Structure 1
Amino acid sequence: MKLQLYVGFAAFLASGSLAQAACPAAQGVDIYPTAKVLPENLLRVYVYYPRSMSADAGLQHVRLLKSDGVTLAGVFLTNRADLWSPDRRRLTLLLDPSRVKTGLIANESLGRALVNGESYILDVSGSALDTTGCPLGKDTQHSFAVENADTDPPDPARWTIVTPRAHSADTFRVDLGSAHDHLSMAFRLRVLDKDGNTVPGAIALGPEEELWEFTPRAAWTAARYTLAIDERLEDLAGNRPGRLFDRPSDQAPSPWMQSLDFIPKEQVKQ
């Protein structure tokens, strides 16, 4: 009886049924930027995994394909260690800057990986393993078209804001007019009160990372607030306010508006 049980258990292990039963249900990933049209000088792509991933779950499980299914080589910058967040759930894919930036040898000999007018598919394989040895189990693809290079740096003077009502917890909204790097939007914009203190609250991003939203933890007062803009804010091409990513290294940045002031509107009593 013991032998029969052992043989049966060994067959169960060999079938992979035990491993499958211990692993979560198949899951895909989230990919940023989410826009369906991206500039040919796109600098970064982010892949968000539902679980902490193993050391071999990086770039080798990601492909960039042309619309005809041909896989492109030499697109992403290869590092000795992939660019993971500390929890190993966000992988940053850096398009090779030497191909993105004009005037460099790689750009002149190979050109940019993305070409205006073409369409592409970013494919993330579900075979990547998490830290427990379980595969994601589901492939994820993000299709997008490519337009002209973005040579227009972020310009806060052209942003549109929706001023909240005083004595409310209305969401303060800022329309940046174009897609920006979503991590940059999360960390490089802050609302300050009249004393220069950061206002506590929650940040959210609108469709295709063009809209920045802030909901305060406490009600707004009818006082002056400031949207502070960090000089490291970037759009999808790595451009910063007053400064292009694709520029001579000794070129000084142009003047730009480093903050936007607003005063919540008093509500009109009926």
Structure 2
Amino acid sequence: MKKIFLKFIQGGSLGLLLFFLSLNHAQAQSFFTAKTLSSSPEYGTITTRLVPEEVVDLINKQNFSFDEWSSFFYIKTNPNAPAVLGKYSIKNNHLSFTPKFLPDPKINYFVTFSYPKLSELLSDAINEQNVYSDVASFEPPETTQPEVISFTPELDEVPANLLRFYVYFSAPMGLENPYDFITIEDKNGKPLVDPFVIIPEGLWNINHTRLTLLLHPGRVKQGVGPNMTQGDVLLAGNSYTLKIDKSWKGSSGEPLKADFSQTINASNPLRGAMNINIWALKAKISNGIGILTVITDHPLDQPLAQRMIFIRNKQGQVLPVQVTFDSPEQLKVLWRHQGSDELELLIDPRLEDVCGNTPHYAFDLEGTERTPSTEELKIKFRVN
């Protein structure tokens, strides 16, 4: 049987950069969408992002049983539990699962889609090795009409080479094209032309309440003739306004409560790798909870940091933590203290600052090797 290869194909250096972005920002989006509106007949449904049409055609020919479906696309109450019962469907190249019984809002559900497992069922007809996992919560929002409740990074001035914004909503947003409702204007009110990397369907978390907006790296041409160079979307020293139109509808069909605008002041670009060796750490214990305050050398990408920073005790156990931010350059890591005063802060080497720089490389410097490292990063500290 002929294999289907799922590739990113794009010409030129911009294609390579966008390919790198697509790999490096997997943590910023979910492969799934979860229906969390209790008033919807699809409450509890999990839907994948677009699946290639060739793969959908192969699946349609198989008439999979529940056991076959749930071998590659499943929802569980914990990783070792059996798959939740329900039915599968395909619409417009999206695969969906709807549970037989309404989900419990008190439970976090583990969701997985495995291309290798699907390939086994299709007799190795596809050559895709990605496995997508996420955690879904079905606690209904307090109101079905959405509004913008938060915008990050929360900085008085952002570096001109800022890579992304995050917009948080109070309720799930619909499947309309996000870029039809969002603009960035200069100080004269003139919209910037194509400031965002356009990602089909947008970069959403699983509940469709957090949108990631990627600014085009090196999109703007500066200079004239042979001296023309790539520049940043934002220019240092300039002021901009990001606007979101209230006609944008949420999953409930209701539009945003109000227009949203955010002033953006651009400062000098932030180029260069992070240096974790100069991070300042101070730990204390309060009512049995460990609190580690970390001051970093670069403003961190907050959603990534909340998934990529951990603590390990002297016995080698990685402890569950909660990461909160006082500012993009100061965070707190909380854990349940269990007596060990000698600990390590573990940092995923893919952690980025707000401009895409990691502890191993600078994101947008010419000649920089941008291959993600697997080297473990750690900083030892003691509880005072």
**TM-score over 0.5 (shorter chain):** yes
Q: 1:202 to 1:249 in 2, by over 3 A?
A: closer
The alignment status of 1:242 with 2:360, answered yes or no, reads yes
Of residues 316, 320, 331, the one that matches 1:212 is: 331
Q: Which TM-score applies when normalising by structure 1?
A: 0.78
Hey, what does 1:223 align to over in structure 2? 341
Determine helix, strand or coil for the equivalent of 1:142.
strand
CA-to-partner distance for each residue in 1:47-66, whole Å, 9 max, x for gaps? 11111111115121111111
Would the aligned equivalents of 2:218 and 2:233 in 1 still touch at CA under 8 Å?
Answer: no
Per-residue CA deviation, residues 12-33 of structure 1 (Å, 9 max, x unaligned), is: xxxxxxxxxxx85673342111
* Residue 261 (str. 1) matches residue 372 (str. 2): no
Report the alpha carbon displacement of residue 195 of structure 1 after superposing the two structures with TM: 2.3
Say whether 1:139 aligns with 2:139: no
Q: 1:149 to 1:220 in 2, by over 3 A?
A: same
Deviation of residue 111 (structure 1)? 3.1
**Partners of 2:185 and 2:191 within 8 A in 1:** yes
Residue 219 (structure 1) shift: 2.7
- What's the offset of the Cα at 1:69? 1.6
Change beyond 3 A, Cα 1:119–1:173: same
Q: Aligned runs of 1:182-193 on 2, under 5 Å? A: 182-193=302-313
Deviates more, 1:174-183 or 1:224-233: 174-183
Corresponding residue number in structure 1 for 2:201: 81
Contact 1:228 1:259 in 2 (8 A): yes
* Structure 1 counterpart of 2:164: 44
Q: Is the 8 A contact 1:65 1:120 kept in 2?
A: yes
Determine which of 99, 108, 132 is the counterpart of 2:219.
99
SS in 2 for 1:226: strand
| 1:129 match: secondary structure | coil
1:130-171: per-residue Cα shift (whole Å, max 9, x none)?
Answer: 111101121221112111111132111111111214984241
| 8 Å contact from structure 2 (residues 146, 169) kept in 1 | no
1:49-198 mapped onto 2 (5 Å cutoff): 49-56=169-176, 58-99=178-219, 108=228, 111-165=231-285, 168-198=288-318
1:187 alignment partner, SS class:
helix
Say if 1:166 and 1:221, in contact at 8 Å, map to a contact too.
Answer: no
Distance 2:216 2:351 in 1: 20
Distance 1:231 1:113 in 2: 27
- Counterparts of 1:220 and 1:133 in 2: how far apart (Å)? 48
TM-score (norm 2): 0.56
- Aligned letter for 2:256? L
Amino acid at match of 1:96: H
Among 131, 152, 164, which residue is 1:32 paired with?
152
Matches of 1:100 and 1:92, distance apart in 2: 20
- The structure in which a higher percent of residues are strand is 2
Q: Any stretches of 5+ residues in structure 2 without a counterpart?
A: 1-142, 223-227
Cα deviation digits, residues 71-115 of structure 1 (max 9, x gap): 11110011333212221111111111342899xxxxx56632100
Which whole-Å CA distance do the structure 2 matches of 1:77 and 1:259 have between them? 33
By how many angstroms is 1:224 displaced? Answer: 1.4
CA contact (8 A) 1:75 1:95 kept: yes
Whole-angstrom distance in 2 between the partners of 1:253 and 1:100: 26
Q: 1:177 to 1:257 in 2, by over 3 A?
A: farther
Q: Work out which structure has the larger RCO, using CA pairs closer than 8 Å and 6 or more positions apart in sequence.
A: 1
For residue 253 of structure 2, what is the amino acid of its counterpart? Answer: G
Specify the alignment match of 1:16 in structure 2. none
Q: How many aligned positions are there? A: 236
Instruction: Assess if the C-alpha contact under 8 Å between 2:187 and 2:240 holds in 1.
Output: yes
- Amino acid of the residue matched to residue 59 of structure 1? Y
C-alpha distance in structure 1 between counterparts of 2:144 and 2:287, whole Å: 46
For residues 91 and 260 of structure 1, the distance between their equivalents in structure 2, rounded to whole angstroms, comes to 32
Match in the other structure for 2:323? 203
Quick one: which amino acid aligns to residue 176 of structure 1?
T
How many angstroms does 1:202 deviate by? 2.2
Instruction: Confirm or deny: 8 A CA contact 1:122 1:141 kept in the other structure.
Output: yes
Distance in 2, Cα, partners of 1:223 & 1:161: 14
